[in-house]
Structure 1
Amino acid sequence: MSRRPEHLAPPELFYDETEARKYTQNSRMIDIQNQMCRRAIELLLLPENTTHLLLDIGCGSGLSGSVIKEYEHEWIGIDISSAMLGVALEREVGGDLILGDMGQGMPFKAGTFDGAISISALQWLCNADKNSHDPPKRLYKFFSTLFSCLSRSARAVFQFYPENSEQIELITTQATKAGFYGGVVVDFPNSTKAKKYFLVLMTGGATVLPRALSVNETDSVVPYASRREQMKKAKGKYLKNSKDWIIEKKERRRKQGKKVSEDSKYTGRRRCGRF
């Protein structure tokens, strides 16, 4: 039996309540997800010192959304698994959540988002889980509606697990037909375990693709930045998600007139099942 999840069941069935909780409580999966999300955000090349609205496609239980918030961006997530979204709600991940099938298109107004990311979801569209499913048509529907809801200077970055070169060609062909420019960036191409595929799509015309990471060229590439290393660069600021950082952020929101919960001895304390 194949070990690829998309061969075992449709995503809305595979990611049931048991799988959703297992995925969200596995420290190794969380670390990998966080690393890939940080790399995807790097590849978006967003202007610095500005808050952006990002779309998280296949947001699951909100692990990527938590990373997006670390970068102080806002986000909206869409996922086909109600169980995954249920866990995200329990974790109070801080983004708006929508239940939806990416193969049926993105239900957003034109120009809504400044960028989009997706971690480990795109390859599911290459399968026909129902008799009515036609992978090329579903991919085109997805990419064309995504193109519409992005601003004309935005990028979309997908980390995905292609099964073969035919799947890569299928995906890139439909993305190009929908109006996107771009291509696939393969990080650590000579490593069996570290190798990662990122589809980098652009709405504003063709530009040079970002350089892939390589274990042989560590001096000339940007490595995955650890969370603590990012915070070291933010001199004079509190460590993100620390108690002081949370209190400061809540105070800013109070000044903006937003409703914020009262501070207590539990503010900033880690809780069971949350990350």
Structure 2
Amino acid sequence: MSSRPENQAPPEIFYGEGEAEKYTRNTRIMTIQSEMSERALELLALPDDTCSYILDIGCGSGLSGECIEEAGHMWVGIDIAPAMLKVAVERETEGDFILGDMGEGMPFRAGAFDGAISVSALQWLCNRDKTYHKPVKRLYTFFSTLYASLSRGSRAVFQFYPDSSDQVELITSQAMRAGFTGGVLIDYPNSTKAKKFFLVLMTGGNQPLPKALGTEHSEEQTSAIFENKRERLKQIRGSKNAKKTKDWIKDKKEKARRQGKDVRSDSKYTGRKRKVYL
């Protein structure tokens, strides 16, 4: 069995009392968690000298919440593991806590937060821990409700551990579908131990991504920018030959599927220009 935590047991089981205790005694875990939280806060690009209201998703024992406090912000944490939240309460951090499954959506009012961060939690949504779990549905439910709970122009930053490029595509496609723009940022891409993936999501339209760390002397591409579906279609429709393009055809087929119509599956030939024989 893989040593990755998400491949061993559901999060509420894996992060039981034993693992929760590590987060109060293991200085290495605490240091790594703090460093990743501080980087996530940096990528949020919050206004200087303002107290923002931050959502900490998968807050665990409250280590990332302490970093939010030290930066001068208020926060609310949500986590699925009761044992981790118990430790967070015992550590007397200043944030409020909610026991909840991110795959079932964010239970907050519209525009409640000025930003959101998450450390080492997002990849869990790609698992099928219960028979009724559908990763695509859970990811979309999470991202769409998160999008609604963020103020316009704000960001959400996720440090996560993807196990494949397909998983990155699965996650980012559902974020796009929910309305976000942004991209994946890779810090220290040439290091085995220091390499870190950050998904930077934006609610205020397309914006340039920050520069990845550890890339000063590297020509390797360390980020992948994506646009949400609305922005992509806007560009398509603005072109002279919008109709019959590959994206236009795929959009039409997707709309027909939502209406319950029987539509032929997409393939590498979808939208391909056909030769005209005279």
Whether the TM-score (by the shorter chain) exceeds 0.5 is yes
* 3-state SS of paired residue (1:155): strand
Give CA deviations for 1:76-108 in whole Å, capped at 9, x if unaligned: 000000000000000001100000000000000
What's the counterpart of residue 111 of structure 1? 111
Instruction: Give 3-state SS (helix, strand or coil) of 1:51's partner.
Output: coil
Aligned to 1:194: 194
Q: How many pairs align?
A: 218
SS in 2 for 1:103: helix
Write the distance in 2 (CA, Å) between the matches of 1:88 and 1:30: 13
Partner SS for 1:137:
helix
Q: Hey, what's the Cα distance between the residues in 1 that align with 2:215 and 2:175?
A: 29
How many Å apart are 1:215 and its aligned residue? 5.6
Rg larger in structure: 2
Report the Cα offset of residue 23 of structure 1: 2.5
How far the C-alpha of 1:166 sits from its partner, in A, is 0.5
Conserved in 1, the CA contact under 8 Å of 2:154 and 2:204?
A: yes
User: Map of 1:1-275 to 2, 5 A cutoff?
Assistant: 1-214=1-214, 216-217=216-217
Q: How many Å separate the matches in 1 of 2:66 and 2:38?
A: 11
Deviations 1:147-188 (A, max 9, x none): 000000110000000000000000000000000000100000
How far apart, in 1, do the equivalents of 2:188 and 2:24 lie? 26
Q: Residue type of the partner of 1:197?
A: F
- Asked if the contact 2:189/2:215 (under 8 Å) is kept, the reply is no
Paired letter, 2:140: Y
Q: Deviations over 1:24-82 (max 9, x none)?
A: 31100110110100000000000000000000000000000000000010000000000
Aligned match of 1:256: none
Offset at 1:18? 1.2
In structure 2, C-alpha distance between the alignment counterparts of 1:142 and 1:215, rounded to whole Å: 32
What's the secondary structure of 1:21's corresponding residue? helix
Provide Cα deviations, 1:97-122, integer angstroms capped at 9, x if missing partner. 00000000000000000000000000
Structure 1: give runs of 5+ residues left out of the alignment.
Answer: 219-275
Given that residues 55 and 116 in structure 2 are in contact (C-alpha distance below 8 angstroms), is that contact kept between their aligned partners in structure 1?
Answer: yes
Q: Is the 8 A contact 2:188 2:212 kept in 1?
A: yes
Q: What is the deviation of 1:22?
A: 1.3
Question: How large is the RMSD of aligned CA atoms in angstroms?
Answer: 1.0
Q: 1:223 maps to which residue? A: none
Q: Secondary structure at the match of 1:128?
A: coil
| Cα 1:216/1:153, change in 2 over 3 Å | closer
Give identity over the alignment, percent.
66
Shift of 1:217: 4.5
Distance 2:38 2:217 in 1: 20
Give the TM-score normalised by structure 1: 0.78
Distance between the aligned counterparts of 1:6 and 1:203, measured in 2? 28
Matched with 2:242 is none
**TM-score after normalising by structure 2:** 0.77
Structure 2: gaps spanning 5 or more residues: 219-278
What's the CA shift for 1:216? 4.2
Counterpart Cα distance in 1 of 2:95 and 2:217: 36
Which amino acid in 2 is paired with 1:155?
R
Which stretches of structure 1, 4 residues or more, deviate above 3 A after TM superposition? 215-218
Query: How many angstroms apart in 2 are the aligned matches of 1:57 and 1:23?
Result: 17
Task: Supply the distance in 2 between the matched residues of 1:149 and 1:158 (Cα, whole angstroms).
Answer: 16
C-alpha distance in structure 1 between counterparts of 2:210 and 2:148, whole Å: 23
